[in-house]
Structures are given as structure tokens and as C-alpha cells.
Amino acid sequence: MINRAYNKFLFQLILWNFFYKKVKEDKEQGYNLVNNYKKLIDTQKFLEGMLPDIENFDRSKIRSSFPLVDDVALIQLFKNTLTASD
């Protein structure tokens, strides 16, 4: 159960990272942000709801479905982005 919840969170975090970079790139190039920005916000809200529970997990017992992803760094980026936007 913990593995499934953590991997669902991690998948959403990877999606958030993709949309975050895409929106940033779209801004720089002057493109319309509406669709990607909406997806970014939806994903961010989902992650904000799960983050407190995820932080309480013992990561040493979790088997990630994304072994090449530095989940700790990605979580930190997400948290830094949240605090920067406040």
C-alpha cells in the first residue's frame, strides 16, 4: 500500500516537473500558457494534498517504480517552488 501511494505521488511529481518546465519555457517564448498552466495547477494541488503523508513514510522500505529519478531532489524542488510562490 505504501509503495503504491508513494509511486503514485512520484509519478504526479514527475508530471508536475514536466509542466513546471513547460510553463516556464512557454513564458520565455511568449506562448499561450492556459492549457499547460491549468495542468500544472491541478497537479500541484494533488501533490500538496499528499505531501504531508508522503513525508512521514520511511523511504528505506519503499520500492520505487522510477529508480533513475532522484525523488528527494524532486520533492525538494517542489517544496522550494511552493515556498517561492507564497
Domain spans of the chain, in order of start: 2-85
What average pLDDT score do residues 57-76 get? 88
Banded pLDDT at 47 (limits 50, 70, 90): very high
Q: Judge whether 40 and 23 are in contact, CB under 8 Å.
A: yes
Residue 86 has pLDDT above 70, yes or no: no
Mean pLDDT within 58-69: 86
Is 34's pLDDT higher than 90? Answer: no
* Confidence (pLDDT) at 75: 93
Using an 8 Å Cβ cutoff, are 52 and 73 in contact? no
Question: Can you give the pLDDT at residue 41?
Answer: 93
Q: What is the pLDDT, as a whole number, of residue 82? A: 87
pTM of the model: 0.86
